[in-house]
Amino acid sequence: MSLLTIVLSIILPPLGVFLKQGMGSEFLISIILTVIGWLPGVIYAFYVNSK
């Protein structure tokens, strides 16, 4: 993961996922988790981007 991806995954998790994965199911899941709570969105963004 690049430094930009790490920073975006902390500040705006869906944007960090979008830059690595594009529009897809991972992006939609990230949006839903971020709306539910910021921390689940961050955890999921790090999980998706580390794959």
In angstroms, the CA 25 to CA 2 distance is: 22
pLDDT tens track for 7-38: 999 999 999 999 998 999 999 999 999 999 99
pLDDT at 1 over 90: no
Q: How much is the pTM?
A: 0.88
Domain ranges for the chain: 3-50
- Classify residue 24 as exposed, middle or buried by CB count within 10 Å of its CB (0-12, 13-18, 19+): exposed
According to DSSP, residue 2 is labeled -
Q: What is the pLDDT of residue 28?
A: 96
Tokens 């949006």 correspond to what residue? 31
Backbone angles phi, psi at 23, to 5 degrees: -75, 120
